[in-house]
Amino acid sequence: MARQRTSASLDVRWVEGDAEALPALPVSDEYADVVLSIFGAMYAPDHAAAARELVRVLAAHGRLALTAWTPGSVMPLWAA
Protein backbone atom coordinates (compact mmCIF):
# COMPACT_ATOMS: atom_id res chain seq x y z
CA MET A 1 0.00 0.00 0.00
CA ALA A 2 2.89 2.39 0.68
CA ARG A 3 4.00 2.15 -2.93
CA GLN A 4 0.58 3.23 -4.15
CA ARG A 5 0.49 6.14 -1.71
CA THR A 6 3.93 7.45 -2.63
CA SER A 7 3.68 10.54 -4.76
CA ALA A 8 5.08 10.22 -8.27
CA SER A 9 6.98 13.44 -7.60
CA LEU A 10 9.05 11.86 -4.81
CA ASP A 11 12.27 9.96 -5.42
CA VAL A 12 11.48 6.82 -3.41
CA ARG A 13 12.82 3.30 -3.78
CA TRP A 14 10.98 0.75 -1.66
CA VAL A 15 13.04 -2.26 -0.58
CA GLU A 16 11.34 -5.02 1.39
CA GLY A 17 13.12 -7.75 3.28
CA ASP A 18 13.70 -9.78 6.39
CA ALA A 19 14.90 -7.41 9.12
CA GLU A 20 17.46 -9.97 10.28
CA ALA A 21 18.73 -10.74 6.77
CA LEU A 22 19.21 -7.40 5.05
CA PRO A 23 22.62 -8.45 3.69
CA ALA A 24 20.68 -10.75 1.37
CA LEU A 25 19.18 -7.64 -0.26
CA PRO A 26 21.00 -4.99 -2.30
CA VAL A 27 21.53 -2.77 0.76
CA SER A 28 24.94 -1.77 2.03
CA ASP A 29 25.97 0.12 5.16
CA GLU A 30 24.31 3.56 5.37
CA TYR A 31 22.19 2.72 2.31
CA ALA A 32 18.92 4.38 3.31
CA ASP A 33 17.86 7.86 4.35
CA VAL A 34 14.75 6.35 5.94
CA VAL A 35 14.28 2.90 7.50
CA LEU A 36 10.71 1.98 8.36
CA SER A 37 9.19 -1.01 10.15
CA ILE A 38 5.51 -1.05 10.94
CA PHE A 39 5.00 -4.01 13.31
CA GLY A 40 7.59 -6.03 11.34
CA ALA A 41 10.76 -5.94 13.42
CA MET A 42 8.86 -6.88 16.58
CA TYR A 43 8.10 -10.29 15.05
CA ALA A 44 11.75 -11.04 14.26
CA PRO A 45 12.96 -14.01 16.31
CA ASP A 46 16.14 -12.12 17.26
CA HIS A 47 15.20 -8.52 18.10
CA ALA A 48 18.80 -7.46 18.68
CA ALA A 49 19.90 -8.77 15.26
CA ALA A 50 16.99 -7.00 13.58
CA ALA A 51 17.82 -3.73 15.35
CA ARG A 52 21.50 -3.98 14.36
CA GLU A 53 20.55 -4.48 10.71
CA LEU A 54 18.06 -1.59 10.66
CA VAL A 55 20.65 0.75 12.14
CA ARG A 56 23.46 -0.58 9.91
CA VAL A 57 21.63 0.31 6.70
CA LEU A 58 20.52 3.73 7.98
CA ALA A 59 22.52 6.73 6.77
CA ALA A 60 24.31 8.79 9.42
CA HIS A 61 21.66 11.52 9.45
CA GLY A 62 18.77 9.30 8.41
CA ARG A 63 15.47 8.58 10.12
CA LEU A 64 14.40 5.32 11.68
CA ALA A 65 10.67 4.83 12.26
CA LEU A 66 9.32 1.81 14.13
CA THR A 67 5.98 0.83 15.55
CA ALA A 68 5.59 -2.07 17.95
CA TRP A 69 3.41 -3.17 20.79
CA THR A 70 4.97 -3.03 24.21
CA PRO A 71 5.31 -6.26 26.18
CA GLY A 72 2.38 -6.71 28.52
CA SER A 73 0.12 -4.29 26.64
CA VAL A 74 -3.40 -5.23 25.61
CA MET A 75 -2.68 -5.69 21.88
CA PRO A 76 -0.41 -8.76 22.19
CA LEU A 77 -3.00 -10.35 24.45
CA TRP A 78 -5.58 -10.16 21.62
CA ALA A 79 -3.31 -12.26 19.40
CA ALA A 80 -3.00 -15.03 22.01
DSSP 42: G
Model's pTM, two decimal places? 0.72
Helices (H), the chain: 2-5, 47-56, 74-79
| CA 23 – CA 42 distance, rounded (Å) | 19
pLDDT at 77: 59
pLDDT at 11: 82
**Contact present, 23 and 48 (Cβ < 8 Å):** no
Give the pLDDT band of residue 75 (cuts 50, 70, 90): low
Is residue 80 pLDDT above 60, yes or no?
Answer: no
Tell me how many degrees the CA angle 76-21-66 measures, rounded to the nearest 5: 40
pLDDT at 79: 59
Helices and strands (DSSP H and E) totals, the chain = 3, 2
Give the pLDDT band of residue 76 (cuts 50, 70, 90): low
Dump pLDDT digits (tens) for 18-64. 877 777 777 889 999 999 888 888 888 888 888 898 999 999 999 99
pLDDT at 34: 92
